C-alpha cells in the first residue's frame, strides 16, 4: 500500500504530471527549488518510484492525480 501523501506532496506530484520542471514547480508554489527536490524525493519514496515517469504512472493507477 502507498503511504498517504500530504496536500503539498500531491501538489508537487500533480505539477510533475503536468510536465513542469523543478524550478517551474518552485515558482508556481512559491517554494525554494531545493524544497521542491526534497518533496519530490519523499513522494518518489512513498510511491516506490525511481523517477518522474514511474511516479506519474503509479499515481495514475492509484487515482492520486487531478489531471
| 3-state DSSP assignment of residue 27 | helix
* pTM across the whole model: 0.90
Do 2 and 46 touch, CB atoms closer than 8 A?
yes
How many residues are there in the chain?
67
For residue 2, pLDDT beyond 90: no
Q: Rounded CA gap, 5 and 13, in Å?
A: 9
Residue pair 66/18 in contact by the 8 Å Cβ criterion: no
What b/e string do you get for 28-43 counting C-beta neighbours within 10 Å, with b at 16 or more?
A: eeebeeeebeebbebb
pLDDT tens for 4-62 read 999 999 999 999 999 999 999 999 999 999 999 999 999 999 999 999 999 999 999 99
Amino acid at each position: 500500500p502507498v503511504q498517504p501523501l500530504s496536500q503539498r506532496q500531491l501538489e508537487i506530484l500533480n505539477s510533475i504530471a503536468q510536465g513542469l520542471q523543478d524550478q517551474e514547480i518552485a515558482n508556481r508554489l512559491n517554494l525554494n527549488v531545493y524544497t521542491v527536490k526534497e518533496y519530490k524525493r519523499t513522494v518518489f519514496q512513498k510511491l516506490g518510484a525511481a523517477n518522474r515517469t514511474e511516479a506519474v504512472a503509479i499515481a495514475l493507477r492509484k487515482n492520486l492525480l487531478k489531471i
